[in-house]
């Protein structure tokens, strides 16, 4: 039912007392690796919510690929359209996290950056959801011969994406992205969701505010992946035919639940967890 066109990374996380300065070595860190990448995070979140998800993406021909795909595989996401690109590395993010929660991230996109139209197969699902961690020409090529529902989480900020916006039915941005894209969004007449962190989210249609939602009160542990989970949930809910106000509320609850656990993919809630919270 849903095709996600996006990135796959393996996140390598080191927690230290403080962030290293240029030239400094900080020792006694704690290391863990965990699957990431906006495409992968979104695909997993949507699958947990009950959608049938196929991920179109690329990994390198290296040992990191298997680990980067492990959670997706376990959740049952269709990985048949994940290309393995020879002589390329799987995308990795080196993340330093200090005790006070401050972080520093270096990303090597690897296979994601050379994911090309040649690697794509036709999108046949009722909806497609993408982000800007893969080349924009690849995204446009995928959308070219597709006439279903197009959702774009316009993150990270990328210039010159007017052609993508022209084809979008739903654009999802956070506060910073909203400000950065303001002029590109002039004349956009589709649905636009703006997330506001702990304040929730707003939904605009043809430039007019049509709905707002507040997240339920939760104990926030780690907000990584909250935006990805929100985008997956809003797309799934709208594709299911939920009313726009209900869909926004659903997505806000999913985003909030995603902040209650460490990590991006491990924190994506199941449909049951969301429904339970929506009932109270």
Q: Residue 45: what are its φ and ψ, rounded to 5°?
A: -60, -45
d(CA 151, CA 169): 6
CB of 223 to ligand ADP, least distance (A): 5
- Judged by CB, which is closer to ligand ADP: 90, or 195? 195
CA angle 187, 195, 179 (to 5 degrees): 50
Q: List the catalytic residue out of 62, 118, 228, 246.
A: 228
Token pair, residue 93, equals: 């993010």
- Judged by CB, which is closer to ligand ADP: 106, or 220? 220
Q: Residue 246: what are its φ and ψ, rounded to 5°?
A: -65, -40
CB of 265 to ligand ADP, least distance (A): 14
- Judged by CB, which is closer to ligand ADP: 108, or 220? 220
Residue 11's DSSP bridge partners are 34, 93
CB of 129 to ligand ADP, least distance (A): 14
CB of 199 to ligand ADP, least distance (A): 8
The CB density around residue 217, as the number of other CB atoms within 10 Å, is 8
Residue 228 annotated in active site: yes
The contact set with ligand ADP (CB under 6 A) reads: 174, 195-198, 200-201, 215, 218, 220, 223, 226-227, 230, 252, 255-256, 259
- Judged by CB, which is closer to ligand ADP: 67, or 199? 199
d(CA 273, CA 119): 36
Q: Point out the residue whose Cβ comes nearest to ligand ADP.
A: 227
Token pair, residue 107, equals: 């990303």
What is the full DSSP assignment across 191-255?
EEEEE-GGG-EEEEETTEEEEEE-PPP---S--TTHHHHHHHHHHHHHHTT--HHHHHHHHHHHH
CB of 58 to ligand ADP, least distance (A): 23
- Judged by CB, which is closer to ligand ADP: 131, or 138? 131
Closest CA to 84 of 54, 114, 129: 114
The distance in angstroms from the start CA to the end CA of the chain is: 29
Q: Which amino acids are annotated catalytic?
A: 228
């Amino acid at each position: 039912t849903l095709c996600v066109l996006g990135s796959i990374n393996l996140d390598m996380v080191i927690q230290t007392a403080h962030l290293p300065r240029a030239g400094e070595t900080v020792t006694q860190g704690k290391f863990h690796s965990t699957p990431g990448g906006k495409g992968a995070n979104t695909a997993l979140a949507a699958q947990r919510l009950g959608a049938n998800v196929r991920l179109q993406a690329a990994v390198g021909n290296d040992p990191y690929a298997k680990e980067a795909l492990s959670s997706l595989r376990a959740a049952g996401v269709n990985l048949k359209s994940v290309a393995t690109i020879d002589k390329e590395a799987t995308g990795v993010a080196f993340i330093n996290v200090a005790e006070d929660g401050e972080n520093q991230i270096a990303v090597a996109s690897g296979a994601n950056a050379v994911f090309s139209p040649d690697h794509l197969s036709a999108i046949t699902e009722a909806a497609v959801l993408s982000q800007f961690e893969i080349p924009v020409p690849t995204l446009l090529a995928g959308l070219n011969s597709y006439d279903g529902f197009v959702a774009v989480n316009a993150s990270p900020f990328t210039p010159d994406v007017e052609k993508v916006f022209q084809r979008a039915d739903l654009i999802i941005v956070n506060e910073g992205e909203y400000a950065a894209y303001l002029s590109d969004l002039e004349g956009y007449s589709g649905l636009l969701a703006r997330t506001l962190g702990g304040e929730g989210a707003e939904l605009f249609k043809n430039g007019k505010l049509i709905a707002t939602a507040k997240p339920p009160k939760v104990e926030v542990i780690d907000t990584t992946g909250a935006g990805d989970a929100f985008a997956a949930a809003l797309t799934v809910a709208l594709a299911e035919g939920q009313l726009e106000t209900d869909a926004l509320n659903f997505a806000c609850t999913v985003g909030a639940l995603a902040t209650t656990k460490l990590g991006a993919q491990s924190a994506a809630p199941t449909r049951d967890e969301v429904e339970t919270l929506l009932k109270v």
